[in-house]
Structure 1
Amino acid sequence: MKNSKMISTNHSGHKSKLPKLYNNLVTEFSKKKWGYETVALLGQSCLGGVAVMVTLQNCNFKTIRLIELFLITVFCMSFNAAVLIDLDSKPAFNILIASVFVCLCIIAINLI
């Protein structure tokens, strides 16, 4: 069994398309890094601003509000720093995904 090559599949027997999509997106991001980073920086900063605005409007508990603001700031600033220090494409793309995910989750939590 050590030398067997197993194809990763989910329970239905089909290969997952998510890793292939991720690899395609990273490859595309790498090819036109400067353009995508510029557009992503603008979009991600606007999304972070919306997340902050929604948090300040809807959160009644001061401690929770401060934690949410801290998370938004850390994740948004981490992508800004990744762009400024000219980080490689894959880590920068991963930080962008994390930043967008955190902002969208905080927006969704505050709107429910």
Structure 2
Amino acid sequence: MTHSGTEHRTNPLKRIHERMFLEYRKGQMGYATIAIIGQSCLGSAAAMVLLMGTLDTAVQMTLLFFVTIFCMAFNGAVLAQLKPLATFNLLIMSVVFNTLVILFHII
């Protein structure tokens, strides 16, 4: 309940994000280490699927550029010791983008 007496409703995705972020922040050093390994493997799988695909070369290289940038952005954020929220959001963006690239090329 808020001060006005109305019930405050939040987006379910936002609640999940907040819960996951709180867990990430509690064990940031361990989770960041594991996440670097996991998202780098996912990024390399996305790059492999992209390069094996039959897309136009310009589109293929553009997508490969973004796969590489998202992976490097998270890795750089961890190495630069940016705020936990920034590194967590970069991790989410990298994982989602790379997963979408893989799924669209498998289908």
TM value normalised by structure 1 = 0.85
Deviation at 1:27, TM superposition (A): 0.7
Query: TM-score scaled to structure 2, two decimals?
Result: 0.89
Which runs of 5 or more residues in structure 2 are unaligned? none
Amino acid in structure 2 at the alignment position of 1:54:
V
When the two structures are aligned, how many residues end up with a matched partner? 105
Deviation at 1:88, TM superposition (A): 1.0
Q: CA deviation at 1:24?
A: 1.1
Partner of 1:28: 23
Q: Tell me which residue corresponds to 2:49.
A: 54
1:1-112 correspondence runs (5 A):
7=7, 9=9, 16-112=11-107
What's the offset of the Cα at 1:16? Answer: 3.7
* Partner Cα distance (1:71, 1:6) in 2: 43
Deviation at 1:4, TM superposition (A): 5.0
Q: CA RMSD in A?
A: 1.7
Aligned letter for 1:92?
T
Bigger Cα Rg = 1
Task: Tell me which stretches of 4 or more aligned residues in structure 1 moved more than 3 Å.
Answer: 3-9
Contact 1:79-1:96 at 8 Å conserved across structures = yes
> How far 1:22 sits from its partner (Å)?
1.2
Structure 1 unaligned spans of 5+: 10-14
